[in-house]
DNA sequence: ACTAATAAGACCTTATTTGTCATATTATTA
DNA sequence: TAATAATATGACAAATAAGGTCTTATTAGT
């Protein structure tokens, strides 16, 4: 499997925060309960998301986390890469010149293209869309 | 990184076999030397490729491995999946219904689309193309 | 029989992921 | 200032997977 569990948790948490506490503050522990994510693990993920500039965290009473920017300005690629680091199909895509075979390697370009297609799809998916769609699906499912 | 080293070795080995021993038989140990792949590890990879129906292996003196079908009928996705198993962006893509949240999950479709784009690119890349391109690049580089 | 090759599987080492625990820090409120 | 409610941080542990080695069996040609 390509994505780590942490990345999946991160996306679900971001959607939860965007959906439930629209513009407001969410409490990590409650997100964990709602989304059925191991609590302490989620705090780690939230920390990374905060460090990565996707969330703002405030400590102390009445603290919590909120989106650092509008949901429309956050996309799936950003969330995934904040948790996983750069998504690379193969080593050589980190930096040209790393692999000694590169100049005669017929695969390099194919990896590159495949990776670009993948990332493009994730990039075109905004958190705003996901949150909206989540609401739709939930109301359809319960109604 | 998404691809395991084994998958990269597998692709390079397949190109080597397709290029050097066109239609004929290649010896695993020599492939390993040429491609700078740990020998014993490559035998494992070759075994998996043979089990997966991409290579034919013949034991005994004057044995070796050869492509089980024409290089044009082998594509990059097949090679990668023979080594890695199915390439899945997320757990839930293995079998619909596995994740209890699926019916209200807004992400499922996005994972699916991203995965399809990735696999499509690999599918469109045949071993014949890779072998051809490899020859081109090598002669260009040495000439 | 001898030799050259793959097949198979046990095994080991290391790295990563997933997760827990304990403790520190910060901000609010009374 | 003390109590409380929240995140921050870092050490740690367990589970899993990746990368690689070693040994032995099997097969086929000479
Ligand atoms: S051999 Fe080609 S695909 Fe493999 S690491 Fe080097 S450049 Fe990349
Ligand atoms: S929550 Fe959605 S994306 Fe995550 S495993 Fe379930 S269906 Fe898949």
With a cut of 70, list the residues of chain A below it in pLDDT. Answer: 21-23, 143
By CB atoms closer than 10 A (0-12, 13-18, 19+), residue B31 is buried
Q: How many CB atoms lie within 10 A of CB B2?
A: 22
The reported pLDDT for the residue numbered B95 is: 75
pLDDT(B102) > 80? yes
* Packing angle of the helix pair B39-51, B76-84 (nearest 10 deg): 110
More confident residue, B2 or B21: B2
- Average pLDDT value for residue range B14-19: 95
Chain A contact present for B21, CB below 8 A: no
> Whole-angstrom Cα distance, residue B6 to residue A3?
18
Q: How many CB atoms lie within 10 A of CB B34?
A: 14
Q: Phi and psi (nearest 5°) for B55?
A: -125, 155
The reported pLDDT for the residue numbered B98 is: 80
CB contact under 8 Å between A89 and B141, yes or no, is no
pTM of the model: 0.94
How many CA atoms are closer than 13 Å to the CA of A74, on its beta-carbon side?
26
> Whole-angstrom Cα distance, residue A16 to residue A29?
12
CB contact under 8 Å between B104 and A3, yes or no, is no
Domains of chain B, CATH where assigned: 5-142 (1.10.10.10)
Residues 108-127 of A with CB under 8 A from B: 110-111, 113-115, 117-118, 120-122, 125
More confident residue, B74 or A20: B74
């Amino acid at each position: 499997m390509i994505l780590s569990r942490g990345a999946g948790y991160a996306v679900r948490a971001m959607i939860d925060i965007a959906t439930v506490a629209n513009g407001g503050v969410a409490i990590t522990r409650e997100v964990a309960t709602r989304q059925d994510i191991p609590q302490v693990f989620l705090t780690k993920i939230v920390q990374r998301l905060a460090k990565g500039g996707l969330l703002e965290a405030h400590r102390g009473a009445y603290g919590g986390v909120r989106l650092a920017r509008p949901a429309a300005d956050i996309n799936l690629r950003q969330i995934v890469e904040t948790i996983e680091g750069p998504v690379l199909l193969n080593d050589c895509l980190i930096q040209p010149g790393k692999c000694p075979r590169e100049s005669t390697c017929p695969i390099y370009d194919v990896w590159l293209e495949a990776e670009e297609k993948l990332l493009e799809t994730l990039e075109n998916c905004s958190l705003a869309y996901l949150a909206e769609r989540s609401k739709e699906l939930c109301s359809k499912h319960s109604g």
